[in-house]
Amino acid sequence: MIVTSPAEFLGACAQLPVAPEARATARAAFLVAPAASELAAESARDNRYMRMDAAFDAQRAFAQHARLAQALRADVPVVTFPGDPATPDAMFPNNVFATAPGRFIVGAMRHPVRQREAARDDIRAFFRDVLGYAEIDLSQRQDRVAELTGALVIDHARGIGYCGLSERCDMAGARAMHEAFGLRLTFCFELARGEYHTNVVMASLAGRGVILAPDGFADAEVPRAIAQAFGGRAIRLTPEQKRAYAGNAITLSPKRVWMSERAATSLTGAQRASLADWGFAVGSVPLDEIEKAGGSLRCCVGEIF
């Protein structure tokens, strides 16, 4: 079922049958190393978080990325694919590639610089031939945009998707992702003007809580409804915390939420206490060089279910 209003969403949640047992967090993660010496100017047309006016240190970005991979191995096995200088946004692979149990999904990207990533044979072969996943390729049709888990935040425990509509995802793309991920319910809503991906303004915490940046949604009732769906377990971010990427977080185990060092530093004591009450420690690594490219920790991490 796909719904488009807060009232419909809360009504559908109330009637949703008890979910079959499902993993709330991934079995492993995959990353793509930075390789380009400059940022993707094409992506900057609709990603206001990119710092095109700042010098970009490719070696420093590579070192921060390697440190991230090492840190995440505390929770799950991590596979890192080599980068390609021709695809500067490839260090954010979750928008292009994603998985559901037994399935490997390729996104339909808006910009040509990212469409080139979707054609990578080595990543496709790893999931198809090594892991034996069935490939679902959304990139083959030009009548939709579906930037996977950038646009779609998934509560895997309950099979619910939260899909923000913007230049990076339209309704046709939302429908395709709903089917590809095998979701039970998808709530589609407009992001606020200037927002490009849902995972910058929202993070599902292993289905037990949620981080929300209310100013990232076009309709203020949407984040209220989402918080209600999580039983009120919601961390609400200020605009400054959102810009520090505190919403770009991920749980790779039921006991820890990962975000960048800058994001973690922005959290208040009360917010940290809430996370602890919900059973989450905060893990963080410095990613300030990578964040110049308009994404942060969650954007760097592809999940393997």
Domains of the chain: 2-304 (3.75.10.10)
- Tokens 């950038």 belong to 150
Q: What is the mean pLDDT of residues 71-78?
A: 98
Q: Please return the burial class of 151, using the count of CB atoms within 10 Å of its CB with bins 0-12, 13-18 and 19+.
A: buried
Q: What is the mean pLDDT of residues 250-256?
A: 97
Q: pLDDT tens across 175-215, in order?
A: 999 999 999 999 999 999 999 999 999 999 999 999 999 99
Q: pLDDT tens across 258-286, in order?
A: 999 999 999 999 999 999 999 999 999 99
Whether 77 has a pLDDT exceeding 70, the answer reads yes
CA–CA separation, 275 and 249 (whole Å): 12
Whether 255 has a pLDDT exceeding 80, the answer reads yes
What pLDDT is attached to residue 52? 73
Residues in the chain: 305
What pLDDT is attached to residue 72? 98
Residue 204: strand, helix, or coil? strand
What pLDDT is attached to residue 44? 60
Binned at pLDDT 50, 70 and 90, residue 167 comes out as very high
Structure-derived torsion over alpha carbons of residues 155, 159, 160, 163, reported in degrees to the nearest 10: 80
Whether 91 has a pLDDT exceeding 70, the answer reads yes
Q: pLDDT tens across 12-64, in order?
A: 999 998 777 789 999 999 999 998 767 767 776 777 787 877 788 989 999 99
Pick the range with the lowest mean pLDDT from 44-53, 146-155, 212-221.
44-53
Asked if residues 97 and 123 have their Cβ atoms less than 8 Å apart, the reply is yes
Q: What is the mean pLDDT of the chain?
A: 95
Binned at pLDDT 50, 70 and 90, residue 224 comes out as very high
What pLDDT is attached to residue 37? 63
Residue 142 or 161, more confident? 161
Which helix (H) or strand (E) segment is 124 a member of?
Answer: helix 121-125
Q: What is the mean pLDDT of residues 71-80?
A: 98
What pLDDT is attached to residue 18? 76
DSSP 88: G
Whether 2 has a pLDDT exceeding 90, the answer reads yes
State phi, psi for 224 to the nearest 5 degrees. Answer: -65, -45
Which helix (H) or strand (E) segment is 234 a member of?
Answer: strand 234-236
Nearest to 244 by CA among 233, 226, 259: 259
Q: What is the mean pLDDT of residues 212-224?
A: 98
What pLDDT is attached to residue 22? 86
What pLDDT is attached to residue 80? 98
CA–CA separation, 65 and 71 (whole Å): 10
Binned at pLDDT 50, 70 and 90, residue 88 comes out as confident
